[in-house]
């Protein structure tokens, strides 16, 4: 099979395990000390690292294997009670997790051909992990002295697990893995003697060509049932320790490793997962390339367009049988569309679970204490939307820690708990999902923002205060920042601007609420999906336009005398509420007309409202969104188009740009 497919599968699985590793490490960092503290997190961490090690051994990724093996070694001793877990352990494991992530990403099939060589120092980090283990472990029985004949290369001493079945065959497998790294000039005892009754699982070999201890340890340990691999420079890594899973060798470790070249990974993969594994019951889910779902969604959208065209033609013929057939087809198309949309929906935890590590690292960098709370993890959102909003959320979380939450000393002086509270939540509101980032910090310094805004000419010199929506508009200006210093996290004036740009491009809205001394809240209102949306169709002149129903509250027929002018702007009074009027004709560059013969579409997003004046209302319809890149000028208030039943195109209004 295609090796690239297995590399992509490895990368996907390994990234999932990295999330588990980081979550377990954060839990360990906050676990109570003493017996049993963090035991479940240690077990979870061990299982994730062990799985990554097995997969990397199958694929022949030595750097990933060396790191995961060294992490597993340390964790196995902790699980066995032979070593106590302390802060230094956890800090070192965080460093190892970072290096493991880098090593995994460097296996990506899409890595550019001319990419610079990796700066990852695997050997140094492996030695640090091994050093922690050796510093705490009790003296081991000495490896029996085995003398090798002189020659080029490094000496490698191997000690199999006691009680290994067929130790001679296992030792020969280790030697085969060594030969895949370079020429083996000597083996003591000989491979023939290994098959004898007196072989005790201890042997040595001289390896030329490869001198990286980390690579040697990873490659030889992956043979399975290997307790120690010792290189003459002192590097050591037990593949199985007392208290570890001595008999529980994974399928990946049972694979014959005689050929370790990357091109042989496919055969090893097929061998590992192609025998007994195929007899196991299949899981009730499969991974699907998002591009396939996009293609299915496109086909379902085209069917919807064809359905609209057929409906128009059927209406002209007046054939009851044709109407019935079209109605049945319409129901099936709707079910198909709903099914594909459902397959694109994923719970927000798939992205939210990446953020505890982001928060932890930012808090440590800035010397702050932060309690991170995640709520609404099971709320579902379109996979594409969720991935697109990940970076804006990172901006907001780091911004809250840097500018919002105070230092422990400042919080105590203000009568607060030393640890700040940072909440990331998701809720469903009608046809939208609201993602909220809320902190209990100092709040936005409005006076400071106002002074900077006056100096830049952003607001009137006479202004004395800023409402929340005005505050957001000011701080989201490109390059605007009140930070006195630039940190590695923020202070360059690009974060909030980037957040607003991304969210608006997704058809969403950003809201800000800030109270001095109490904290700041950012609300990101997003459509559940961008593929198919319910819309109100309207006409201006000879063109049709679609207004997403998420933003429509009601429609009205304009009558004479209801439109007023306040400070040079047209407004309309609805139930004693004064709302501004926007003319779609003017937005698209057409001359205005008599409003008495027009209709108004009432738009609303959060607490913002306005009336959109159009010539004619055509009714409601589900439309397939054909996105296009935003352009300047009149078209900047549109974020896509759709095909009508008569084959003409209609632009889709981006209401958030108007409100």
Terminal alpha carbon distance of the chain: 53
* Band of residue 489 on the pLDDT scale cut at 50, 70, 90: low
Does the pLDDT of residue 282 top 50, yes or no? no
Give the residue-averaged pLDDT of 156-177.
Answer: 87
Q: What does pTM read for this prediction?
A: 0.67
Cβ contacts of residue 430 below 8 Å, gap of 6+?
550
Length of the chain: 659
> Buried (b) or exposed (e) across 530-557, using 16+ Cβ within 10 A?
bbbbebbbbbbeeebbbbbbbbbeebee
> What is the structure's pLDDT at 251?
34
Q: What is the fold, at CATH topology level, of the domain defined by 3-109+123-130?
A: 1.20.120
* Band of residue 441 on the pLDDT scale cut at 50, 70, 90: very high
CB atoms within 10 A of CB 75: 27
* CATH class entry, domain 346-445+493-527: alpha beta
Q: What is the 3-state secondary structure (H, E, C) of 343-371?
A: HHEEECHHHHCCHHHHHHHHHHHHCCCEE
- CATH 3.30.565.10: which residues of the chain? 346-445+493-527
CA angle 33/39/43 to nearest 5° reads 145
Name the residue with higher pLDDT: 240 or 499: 499
- CATH 3.30.70.1110: which residues of the chain? 154-232
Cβ contacts of residue 214 below 8 Å, gap of 6+?
62, 63, 66, 67, 70, 122, 123, 126, 235
- CATH 2.40.50.180: which residues of the chain? 532-657
> What is the structure's pLDDT at 239?
40
Does the pLDDT of residue 276 top 50, yes or no? no
- CATH 1.20.120.160: which residues of the chain? 3-109+123-130
* CATH class entry, domain 154-232: alpha beta
The pLDDT tens digits of the residues spanning 618-647 come to 988 888 787 765 444 445 678 788 888 777
Query: Both tokens of residue 339?
Result: 């099914």
Give the residue-averaged pLDDT of 62-87.
Answer: 83
Question: Which element (helix H / strand E) includes 325?
Answer: helix 320-344
CB 297 within 8 A of CB 344: yes
Domain range 532-657, CATH architecture: Beta Barrel (2.40)
Instruction: Name the range with the highest mean pLDDT among 13-27, 52-66, 135-149, 241-255.
Output: 13-27
> What is the structure's pLDDT at 563?
82
Instruction: Name the range with the highest mean pLDDT among 314-328, 377-391, 636-650.
Output: 377-391
């Amino acid at each position: 099979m295609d090796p690239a497919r297995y590399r992509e599968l490895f990368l996907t699985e390994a990234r999932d395990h990295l999330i588990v590793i980081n979550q377990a490490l954060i839990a360990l960092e906050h676990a109570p000390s003493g017996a049993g503290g963090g035991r479940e997190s240690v077990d979870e961490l061990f299982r994730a690292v062990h799985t990554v090690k097995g997969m990397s051994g199958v694929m022949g990724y030595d750097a990933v294997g060396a790191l995961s093996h060294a992490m597993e070694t340390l964790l196995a001793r902790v699980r066995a009670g032979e070593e106590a877990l302390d802060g230094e352990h956890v800090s070192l494991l965080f460093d190892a997790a970072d290096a493991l992530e880098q090593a995994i990403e460097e296996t990506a099939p899409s890595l550019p051909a001319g990419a610079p060589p990796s700066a990852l120092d695997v050997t140094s980090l492996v030695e640090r992990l091994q050093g922690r283990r050796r510093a705490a472990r009790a003296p081991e029985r000495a490896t029996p002295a085995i003398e090798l004949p002189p020659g080029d290369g490094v000496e490698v001493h191997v000690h199999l697990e006691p009680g290994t079945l067929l130790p001679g065959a296992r030792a020969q497998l280790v030697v085969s893995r060594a030969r895949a790294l370079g020429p083996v000039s000597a083996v003591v005892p000989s491979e023939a003697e290994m098959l004898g009754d007196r072989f005790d699982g201890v042997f040595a070999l001289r390896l030329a060509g490869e001198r990286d201890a980390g690579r040697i340890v990873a490659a030889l340990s992956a043979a399975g049932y290997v307790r120690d691999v010792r290189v003459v420079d002192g590097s050591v890594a037990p593949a199985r320790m007392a208290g570890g899973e001595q008999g529980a060798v994974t399928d990946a470790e049972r694979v014959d490793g005689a050929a370790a070249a990357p091109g042989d990974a496919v055969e090893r993969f097929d061998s590992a997962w192609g025998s007994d594994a195929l007899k196991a019951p299949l899981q009730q889910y499969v991974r699907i390339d998002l591009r396939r779902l996009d293609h299915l969604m496109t086909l379902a959208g085209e069917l919807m367009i064809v359905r609209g065209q057929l409906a128009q033609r059927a209406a002209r013929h007046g054939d009851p049988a044709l109407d019935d057939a079209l109605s049945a087809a319409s129901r099936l198309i709707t079910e198909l569309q709903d099914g594909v949309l459902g397959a694109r929906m994923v719970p927000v935890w798939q992205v939210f679970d990446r953020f505890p590590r982001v928060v932890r690292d930012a808090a440590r960098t800035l010397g702050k204490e932060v309690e991170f709370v995640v709520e609404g993890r099971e709320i579902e959102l379109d996979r594409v939307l969720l991935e697109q909003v990940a970076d804006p959320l990172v901006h907001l979380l780091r911004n809250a820690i840097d500018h919002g939450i105070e230092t422990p000393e400042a919080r105590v002086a203000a009568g607060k708990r030393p640890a700040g509270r940072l909440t990331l939540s998701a809720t469903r509101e009608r046809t939208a999902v609201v993602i909220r980032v809320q902190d209990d910090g100092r709040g936005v310094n409005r006076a400071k923002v106002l002074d900077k805004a006056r100096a830049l000419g952003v607001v009137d010199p006479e202004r004395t205060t800023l409402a929340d929506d005005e505050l957001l508009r000011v701080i989201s200006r490109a390059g605007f920042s009140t930070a006195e210093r630039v940190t590695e996290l923020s202070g360059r004036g690009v974060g909030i601007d980037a957040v607003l740009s991304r969210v608006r491009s997704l058809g969403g809205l950003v809201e800000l609420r800030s109270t001095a001394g109490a904290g700041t809240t950012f609300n990101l209102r997003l459509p559940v999906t961008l593929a198919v949306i319910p819309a109100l169709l309207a006409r201006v002149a000879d063109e049709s336009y679609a207004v997403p129903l998420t933003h429509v509250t009601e429609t009205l027929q304009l009558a004479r005398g209801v439109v007023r002018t306040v400070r040079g702007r047209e407004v309309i009074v609805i139930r004693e509420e004064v709302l501004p009027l926007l003319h779609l004709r003017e937005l698209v560059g057409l001359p205005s007309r008599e409003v008495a013969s027009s209709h108004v579409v009432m738009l609303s997003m959060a607490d913002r409202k306005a009336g959109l004046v159009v010539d004619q209302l055509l009714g409601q319809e589900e439309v397939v969104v054909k996105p296009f890149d935003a352009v300047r000028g009149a078209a900047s208030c549109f974020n896509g188009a759709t095909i009508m039943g008569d084959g003409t195109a209609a632009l889709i209004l981006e209401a958030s740009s108007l409100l």
